[in-house]
Structure 1
Amino acid sequence: MRRTKWGGIADDCFHGSGFFRVAEQNGVSWFVDPDGGRFISKGVNTVRFDQDHIANSDSVPYADTCRAKYGSLHAWRAAASDRLAGWKFNTVGCWSDELVASAGMQRLAMTPTTALGATFRLHRRDQIFPDVFDAAFAAHIRESARDRCTRWRNEPGLLGTFIDNELYWSPDWRGADELLTIFLNLPSHRPGRVAAIARLQQHYREFSQFNAVWGTLARSWEHLGHIAHIDAPFFRMPPGGLNDALEARANRENPLRAQFSTDCDAFSAMVADIYFELCASAIRAVDSNHLVIGSRFGYQPQTNVIAAAGRHLDVVSFNCYDFDASPAIDAYAATGKPCLISEFSFRGDDSGLPNTRGAGPRVASQLERAQCFERYVTAALRKPAVVGYHWFEHADQPAEGRFDGENSNFGTATIQDEPYAELTDTMTRVNAAAEQIHAAAVSAQA
């Protein structure tokens, strides 16, 4: 099977444009590499020499290991790049040292993140989600896109640009808040609070009709803009799976709850549309050559948020730490856009690491990790919309915990830079067959 220098299948199905793009053949979505190869992005996140400081210290155990083993950062980059290519990976994923991509014998694609929304939120410490109604938000997005994307605009090895990582869109493992209640509880002068109340005021003819659903302590729309805290009258479960059916039943049984859900969904759709339109257009204004590959959804949001993403993105990206990503893929594929699994992993309890902090399933052994990888990736590749999968992450986390306390066996290699043989042998075999598996996706779906 002939391949391009990027690792894509060189079978003349597509033409090369000099940059990565997306296309469809026989109902199956693909990346197309700069030379026209059919390309599945097979990536590893956090490929970097200085991975993971031990929390509250200057110690970086993996860097200490690699400095002694390779002698220099330059030598490590070349070795890491060649090893990834040897395992049939073709992409250095999010948070990686981009120079690894061109340091080895084979060119690898790279996928930087701009953190456009997250960096604005960090300027406003009272915000859980960036206030997209703030005029400063649009200015920040444009300026940040210029600063972060201009340098890559002529780079053929850029797969695409991530906008953000795991923004909070709806109830999930981080909390029960809705975007609407988050914005309603911003300080009274914030544009987001003003916009949220205006949206409700447009929907309800009278304040009394609104308050019949929400039951606030306010006596008028003006008063609503100034009361200290607005409580949600109902709490919804995170979207997806059985929760959707349970939510639908609860709304049928309680019309007030159904109206609350409608309010929340309409507002989150509006926020998502503004966010994705501003961010995608800002990136494309300074880099029209490359794909905008999403905001790495951390947890499946409401359907209308996914739909907004599909309207503005080239590829919808999401992180999924389940044993099987198929239900999540189906939810995102409903947009009609290609889908990229931007983060997934499995942790082995025979690694000697605590595995007490970190996302995703724990399994007993490295053999089970390898088996989980194969099942997960094979099932994903059988979905026509999937154009890539990125493993989290390159090396294990320190047992003492990194900056956020994570201390898990996520690595393709130990902190001593020793590969996990069962896992990486399986990765090599599955990665090599990925295009063949994916090409049969439509018949597999039938």
Structure 2
Amino acid sequence: MPVASSLGRILPRRTWVPLRTIAVWVIVVSGLVGFAGRSWGQGANLDGEPRVLLDAAKADASWFKTNQGTIEIADTDAGKAVVLGWTSADALPELKLTAKETWDLSRFWYVSVDVANPGESIVRVKIKANSRDPKWQTNEREYVLYPGERAMVRMPLIRRLPDELKDDLFGMRGFPDGYEPDDGDYPRRGLNVAKLKQVMFGPSGLAASGKLYLYRIVAEGTYRAPPWAEGDTSMLFPLIDRFGQYKHRDWPGKIHATEDFARRIDAEEQDLAANPGPKAWDKFGGWATGPQLEATGHFRVQKYDGKWWFVDPEGHLFWSHGIDCVGPNGAVTPIDDREHYFEFLPDEGPFAAFYTTGHGAPHGYYQNKNPYRAYAFSQANLFRKYGPQWRTRYADVVHRRLRSWGVNTIGNWSDRDIAALDRTPYVTTLSTKSRNIEGSSGYWGKFPDPFAVEFVETINRWIRLQAEKTGRDPWCIGYFVDNEMSWGDDTSLAVATLQSPADQPAKKVFIDDLKAKYGSIDKLNEAWGTEYASWKAMLESTDAPDKEKAAEDLGAFYTKIAETYFRTVAEALHKHAPGKLYLGCRFARVNDRAAKAAAKYCDVVSYNRYQVDVAELALPEGIDKPIIIGEFHFGALDRGMFCMGLRMTANQDDRAEAYRRYVRSALDNPAIVGTHWFQYMNQATTGRFDGENYQIGFVDVCDTPNPEIVQAAREIGAEMYRRRAGK
């Protein structure tokens, strides 16, 4: 398979970009006849006859219409293909297959596209499928095609949970056998696969111009709905075995008896002995055989030979290949109101020690249930596996694994006792706590008010306490502060400030700024088109102004909020932990004003980037600072889990390849100094506090490594320094 060695120059781009004009060409396809499935559950069988939705060999050019690019039928070395061509990244063609009525694809696992990239640039492609019953539900998958590569890109069909089962299955993002809800706060929607209406395909980025050869679109992989999906849940409950696994399926690596744990230990010891880790690394995981730079005894950042790097305490170039949530707590699940889900919940004895108490959740079934009981299946399994001294034995295994896997960083939210052994570099995390801007909103909560006295006091106290533990530790890379805050658009926080009550500290500062600029309320009213009777009336008002008329002032105060937030944190960190790096706030979505403020005060700007690549990720034009990826992941449904997470793949091999391509795109981006995978262990099969139950771990809930992604990480660890250096 051809592999691009470099993405070339990464062009700066704006963090917010306008929606692109997408040229759509349409084929209306009549309903086709399906076939009976021979198996059901996770692990699709690809032996059955696929159902062809589009065959280029039988297509006619007159079917296609486009107002951008070119559409034609052409002969290629592999046969006839529908050729999608484009000359602008702002007008990408999209193939849209629309059934005259609907397709019944309920007996298939995947919609798959046989496609080739004949060009010399990497191309990102996207598959989408829609059903409408009565509202639209959508699944989508993106994939990166290397130059000269042909691939069968498979998108799993996620099924809509029947309405009559919603009272029986709850507290989870995904349900057994590939079902998900079609509502709620989760971005993907379960499809009515018996009434599929549309399938779409086309390029979605990376190449400003190019072509794709499309050979076929098919439905494939046999699937048969489980009996419980018809409404008879007597066959389903209990659905979780004593080890926290789905009990009605089998898969490679599943634990069937307690005795299996000892066999797993023996097998892994042999694997770790055979794979001790990259030979070119120093003790920190830096490039021991690479350039020797200044050694300061702490991690720092430096631009070297046109690319940003960390530099480790010994003065070696360091690229942070990390994993988040390293520790024993990955599979803790609420049990209140769901006791019947579980085959075994101990009343007494050693396994009763693994009950815990949860306190609220930002979303989902347990949002307003405080407190609730939960059970730590992951810890119970570690006790079974390693015995009464499981914490000590487990910590040792974790560090040996990371080195063997080519992973040199313990990422965010990891176990402090494991990190404190000083065998693998680590990051630490803090959160700002203060009064919020009351008019703000966001997925994880409101935005903190950086002008509140308690904001300054709290962040100084917390960083000082953290610095007492880690401030002098050379193994600590630096501090993340906060996570996925709601930055909104480039005036949103200023508008939210004006929608807050009169005693909001930020609001008082904003109005003082406006007084200094305008002098009188009449001049402000003239500029904004408002009718405030006085400055006091403005302070007491919670109405939002006209954003266009007040845009200049709203933007200026938004910048002041962002800069005050980052400056306050940076000053506290440099005061109390002067040797540690400020790693930013882990942007999920962000605008240019916030990104510029972060770059002004952070040593490294962090993004949680759940995409298939980060080739185009850049700070606003003109800013040259290092970037780190705080979170990304891919998941699949062939190892007993119920949900793939935020980025889907077809199976474990596909998941491992997605990992390689993502991290390689980061290695080829001159600004990016590391990627941290979220997370070390699969989440609980029945969901964590907010319902996330993703197959996103390097290990499962029984502490068994997934060999496919481990192998991918080992390959990255072995190649990453030479690739980063362009050698």
Q: TM-score range by the shorter chain?
A: 0.7 to 0.9
Matched, 1:345 2:642: no
Residue matched to 2:24: none
Note closer, same or farther for the CA distance 1:349–1:267 as it changes in structure 2 (3 Å cut): farther
Q: Could you tell me whether the CA contact under 8 Å between 1:306 and 1:335 is conserved in 2?
A: no
3-state SS in 2 of match to 1:271: helix
Q: Distance in 1 between matches of 2:720 and 2:527?
A: 51
Note closer, same or farther for the CA distance 1:88–1:274 as it changes in structure 2 (3 Å cut): same
Matched, 1:386 2:672: yes
Matched, 1:137 2:416: no
Residue matched to 2:87: none
Task: Give % identity.
Answer: 30
By how many angstroms is 1:59 displaced?
Answer: 0.2
Matched, 1:146 2:436: no
Note closer, same or farther for the CA distance 1:347–1:208 as it changes in structure 2 (3 Å cut): farther
Indicate which of 581, 584, 588 corresponds to 1:291. Answer: 581
> Which residue identity lines up with residue 554 of structure 2 in the other structure?
C
Q: Distance in 1 between matches of 2:678 and 2:568?
A: 29
Q: Could you tell me whether the CA contact under 8 Å between 1:333 and 1:385 is conserved in 2?
A: no
Matched, 1:189 2:503: yes
3-state SS in 2 of match to 1:111: strand
Matched, 1:13 2:327: no
Bigger strand share? 2
Alignment of 1:355-366 (within 5 A): 355=643, 358=645, 360-366=646-652
Q: Distance in 1 between matches of 2:283 and 2:522?
A: 66
Residue matched to 2:317: 38
> Which residue identity lines up with residue 560 of structure 2 in the other structure?
M
Matched, 1:73 2:391: yes
3-state SS in 1 of match to 2:332: coil
Q: Distance in 1 between matches of 2:597 and 2:628?
A: 17
Larger radius of gyration: 2
Residue matched to 2:568: 278
Note closer, same or farther for the CA distance 1:423–1:183 as it changes in structure 2 (3 Å cut): same
Residue matched to 1:416: 702
Note closer, same or farther for the CA distance 1:199–1:346 as it changes in structure 2 (3 Å cut): farther
Q: Deviations over 1:4-37 (max 9, x none)?
A: 1111112343122111111121111111111111
Q: Could you tell me whether the CA contact under 8 Å between 1:324 and 1:379 is conserved in 2?
A: yes
> Which residue identity lines up with residue 49 of structure 1 in the other structure?
P
> Which residue identity lines up with residue 340 of structure 1 in the other structure?
I
3-state SS in 2 of match to 1:373: helix
Residue matched to 1:224: 538
By how many angstroms is 1:99 displaced?
Answer: 3.0
3-state SS in 2 of match to 1:69: helix
Indicate which of 11, 15, 24 corresponds to 2:303. Answer: 24
Bigger helix share? 1
Q: Deviations over 1:376-427 (max 9, x none)?
A: 1111111111111100000111122111111111111111222222212111
Q: Could you tell me whether the CA contact under 8 Å between 2:494 and 2:557 is conserved in 1?
A: yes
> Which residue identity lines up with residue 655 of structure 2 in the other structure?
R
By how many angstroms is 1:208 displaced?
Answer: 5.5
Q: Could you tell me whether the CA contact under 8 Å between 2:437 and 2:497 is conserved in 1?
A: no
By how many angstroms is 1:334 displaced?
Answer: 5.0
Residue matched to 1:242: none
Q: Could you tell me whether the CA contact under 8 Å between 1:98 and 1:110 is conserved in 2?
A: no
> Which residue identity lines up with residue 283 of structure 2 in the other structure?
K
Indicate which of 377, 381, 385 corresponds to 1:61. Answer: 377
By how many angstroms is 1:207 displaced?
Answer: 4.3
3-state SS in 1 of match to 2:400: helix
More off after superposition, 398-407 vs 215-224: 215-224
Alignment of 1:92-107 (within 5 A): 92-101=410-419, 103=421, 107=423
Matched, 1:179 2:467: no
Matched, 1:402 2:693: no
Matched, 1:112 2:400: no
Q: Could you tell me whether the CA contact under 8 Å between 1:213 and 1:233 is conserved in 2?
A: no
**Unpaired segments ≥5 residues, structure 2:** 1-278, 335-371
By how many angstroms is 1:293 displaced?
Answer: 1.3
**TM-score, normalisation: structure 2:** 0.52
Residue matched to 1:325: 614
More off after superposition, 331-340 vs 284-293: 331-340
3-state SS in 2 of match to 1:162: strand
More off after superposition, 381-390 vs 193-202: 193-202
More off after superposition, 86-95 vs 190-199: 190-199
Indicate which of 160, 163, 169 corresponds to 2:487. Answer: 169
By how many angstroms is 1:98 displaced?
Answer: 2.9
CA RMSD in angstroms, aligned pairs only: 2.6
By how many angstroms is 1:349 displaced?
Answer: 2.9
Q: Distance in 2 between matches of 1:377 and 1:217?
A: 54
Residue matched to 1:248: none
Residue matched to 2:557: 267
Count of aligned residue pairs for this structure pair: 405
Residue matched to 1:302: 591
Q: Deviations over 1:136-161 (max 9, x none)?
A: 32222222221222221210100111
Q: Distance in 2 between matches of 1:333 and 1:20?
A: 27
Q: Distance in 1 between matches of 2:437 and 2:393?
A: 38
Note closer, same or farther for the CA distance 1:260–1:401 as it changes in structure 2 (3 Å cut): farther
Indicate which of 282, 302, 305 corresponds to 1:4. Answer: 282
Note closer, same or farther for the CA distance 1:129–1:19 as it changes in structure 2 (3 Å cut): same
Note closer, same or farther for the CA distance 1:51–1:319 as it changes in structure 2 (3 Å cut): same
